[in-house]
Amino acid sequence: MSSLYWIRRDVRLADNPALLSLLNDKHLLPSDLENKPQAANDAPKYALFISTPQQWQQHHLAPIKADLLHRHLELFATQLAEIGIHFIHLQANDFSDQVERLVEFCQANNIQHLVANREPERNEIERDQQVIEAGLDLQLFDCDTIAPLGKILNQQGEMFKVFTPFKKAWVNYIREVGVQYRDPPQSTPTSRSSHKKASLDQSQKSVPQSEPILFDYPRVDSSHWPLIDDVQAQVIPDFLANKVADYSQQRDIPSVKGTSCLSPYLAIGALSARQLAAQLIQRDPQVLYHSEHPSFAWLNELIWRDFYKHLLHHHPRLITGECFQTKYNRLMWRNDNADFQAWCEGKTGYPIVDAAMRQLRQTGWMHNRLRMIVGSFLTKHLLIDWHWGEHFFMSQLIDGDFSANNGGWQWVASTGCDAQPYFRVFNPILQSQRFDPNGDFIRKYLPELKNVPNKQLHFPHDYLSKQGKSEQYWPPLVEHKFARQRAINFFKQS
């Protein structure tokens, strides 16, 4: 009986329970091994990835993220070959077509059991149910959170509605249980021999070939982001050794590389959050016992990631676009198309907002502090529906992740779980002065303002007017004081 590992959001060897299950032949029944002791060695093992361009379009997959995924699939195919697993790529249109292609492949290759790592979103859950209803034996594993979904609950047995008590319960759980990280499988002479035999057998089976891997989807070059093997060998060790201790001081300064920049690899599943937590705790065990520990600020970000994924697990209605605080579902946003387009293009007249949006469009990434600033500006200054920003971010971000993106947007819009209060409206000028005081970041992405003095840079309109250069930079879409009061009044009416 052949076996199949269905690749989804998990293009990695390390901490991949579905892949390890396939390699350990845990799906084989005792009768299989009794009747044919060599069944585990003789049966071919496949890893299948089925791209879905139409579904990706519906989910606003960023072309730069598609390219990062493509590069890592090519790497993953090579890694799988080294442990005796033959990689196959098929293409479908959407999830429904993906199910049909999967069933056809399994029937043609006598595959009765397949393993995969779970995806928590609604469309993905419905797709997996269709696979089971089609008669395939699909075994699902969890590997996307550090603390298992459903394990961090309050005294009433429910999901927390505030982050801080969730964090405390999360830390207590990890202290007691530890991080269940799984090491990657190792290549052996036997596995290489098995792979060669499986490759020879392909001519006798209806297994389609996929060399090279082709995506019928727009892609933007992501080569300035290294592949995960280089990240694991160099970037992560360097961050843990030299940067994590200063993370709390450096993380909010956009002109400094003070963050880990690992989120793109987490988003496509090339990297495991459990691996990162395990490495940090192994290096600094006291991080779990002292919140003032220098490394805790970064661990706190990993806990926030878990928080939003646990929230999605307990409240699947969030996937349908609902506000966590349901009273805000009735908000009548202004939704001015011209204002939204100006925000997207970085033409709001607020330098920190415009530089951040240009960073996003040019690089596919945006600094976390800037995500809060531009999100607050869209929802509070312009009163534009946070869903518009959520979708635009997903269409641009190399690290687009539904739960984190949804949680972040609902946080800035004051509609989410443990969100900032509606009356907190970021002042983009003060934010700019505080986190980019010398204008290093602004000047990088707004070269038209390179000669404006630091004192006037953060809102340069009066200065440019006096210099006779008003046309050099966009006028502000709205005045801050007016926008703040308008936003407070708007939310009060809900």
CATH architecture of the domain with residue range 327-492: Orthogonal Bundle (1.10)
User: Exactly one of 74, 93, 123, 304 is catalytic; which is it?
Assistant: 304
- Rounded Cα distance between 197 and 188, Å, is 14
440 annotated ligand binder: no
Rounded to 5 degrees, φ, ψ at 270 are -80, -15
**Two tokens at 63?**
């072309």
Q: Is 302 annotated as belonging to a binding site?
A: yes
Q: Is 104 annotated as a binding residue?
A: no
Q: Which of 93, 123, 300, 368 is catalytic?
A: 368
Q: 388 an active-site residue?
A: no
Residue 474 is among the residues annotated as catalytic for this protein: no
259 is in an annotated binding site: yes
For 130, the 3-state DSSP assignment is helix
Superfamily of domain 2-143: HUPs (3.40.50.620)
Choose among 189, 300, 227, 294: nearest CA to 70: 227
**C-alpha pair distances (Å), 26 with each of 3, 74, 232, 337, 388:** 11, 27, 29, 54, 45
Per-residue confidence (pLDDT) for residue 263, from 0 to 100? 98
Q: Is 399 annotated as a binding residue?
A: yes
* 409 flagged as catalytic: yes
Report how far residue 306's alpha carbon sits from residue 344's, in angstroms, rounded to the nearest whole number: 29
**Catalytic position from the list 82, 100, 121, 301:** 301
199 labelled as ligand-binding? Answer: no
The pTM (predicted TM-score) of the whole model is 0.92
Q: Is 471 annotated as a binding residue?
A: no
pLDDT of residue 196: 46
Among residues 476, 265, 450, the alpha carbon closest in space to that of 382 is found at 476
Radius of gyration of the chain measured on its C-alpha atoms: 25
CATH fold for domain 145-183+228-314: 1.25.40
Catalytic residue among 365, 386, 411, 474: 386
Active site residue 471: no
User: Where are the domains positioned within the chain?
Assistant: 2-143, 145-183+228-314, 327-492
Q: How many Cα atoms within 13 Å fall on the side-chain side of residue 325?
A: 19
386 is catalytic: yes
Q: Which of 56, 409, 411, 474 is catalytic?
A: 409
- pLDDT of the chain along its 494 residues, tens only? 688 999 999 999 999 999 999 998 765 444 443 444 444 455 779 999 999 999 999 999 999 999 999 999 999 999 999 999 999 999 999 999 999 999 999 999 999 889 999 998 999 999 999 999 999 999 999 999 999 999 999 999 999 999 999 999 999 999 999 999 988 887 654 444 444 444 434 433 444 444 689 999 999 999 999 999 999 999 999 999 999 999 999 999 999 999 999 999 999 999 999 999 999 999 999 999 999 999 999 999 999 999 999 999 999 999 999 999 999 999 999 999 999 999 999 999 999 999 999 999 999 999 999 999 999 999 999 999 999 999 999 999 999 999 999 999 999 999 999 999 999 999 999 999 999 999 999 999 999 999 999 999 999 999 999 999 999 999 999 999 999 999 999 999 87
Give the Cα separation of 476 and 478 in Å (integer). Answer: 5
The predicted pLDDT at position 31 comes to 44
343 labeled part of a ligand binding site: no
Residue type, 335: N
CB 99 within 8 A of CB 127: yes
351-363 vs 368-376: helix axis angle to the nearest 10? 120
Q: Is 301 annotated as a binding residue?
A: yes
Which residue type occupies 334?
R
Catalytic residue among 41, 74, 100, 333: 333
Distance CA 471, CA 464 (A): 8
The yes-or-no answer on residue 411 being catalytic is no
